[in-house]
Amino acid sequence: MKLTKKTIITALRNVLATEDNKAEWGFDLTGISADIWKQILKTIKASEKPTNNNDTWVWKGEKVTIYTGNDPISGKFARKGRGDEVDYASYIGIEGDRDLVEKVADTIREYGDCKDESPNERNYI
């Protein structure tokens, strides 16, 4: 078997799978278009308007919650002191239903531009 990023991620998912079907994922310094972000929010059935909780944007879906440092739709950073930056999410943390978390992570990986990612944990936020 050839080791590729995809096969390694799949193996990690299988090894670290939990019985309660919960998962976490993280992305570091992520650019992603507002249009793709809106599609992600539809996938998890969350509002396009996040809440600000302790200097972090939070989108609560039915089975998944996403945390970011920046709102890629409005461009507003969760913390004051930075200018707006549309199409940028900054740090991303995803948690909830394993299948949906993996679907969101796959979408971010395919359409976003991130410095790094942390499968099975919210390393960055």
Per-residue pLDDT reduced to its tens digit, 71-109: 999 999 999 888 899 999 999 999 999 999 999 999 999
Tokens of 74: 């409005």
User: What is the crossing angle of helices 98-111 and 34-44, to 10°?
Assistant: 170
pLDDT band, very low/low/confident/very high, at 15 (cuts 50, 70, 90)? low
Residues 97, 99, 105: CA angle, nearest 5 degrees: 100
22-81, pLDDT tens digit by residue?
Answer: 999 999 999 999 999 999 999 999 999 999 998 999 999 999 999 999 999 999 999 988
Beta-strand ranges (E) seen in 15-120 are: 22-31, 51-52, 57-60, 64-68, 88-97, 116-119
- Buried b / exposed e across 39-74, counting CB within 10 Å, b at 16+? ebbeebebeeebeeeeebbbbbbeebebbbbbbbbe
Topology adopted by domain 5-119: Double Stranded RNA Binding Domain (3.30.160)
Q: Tell me what pLDDT residue 44 has.
A: 97
pLDDT-derived band at 17 (thresholds 50, 70, 90) equals: low
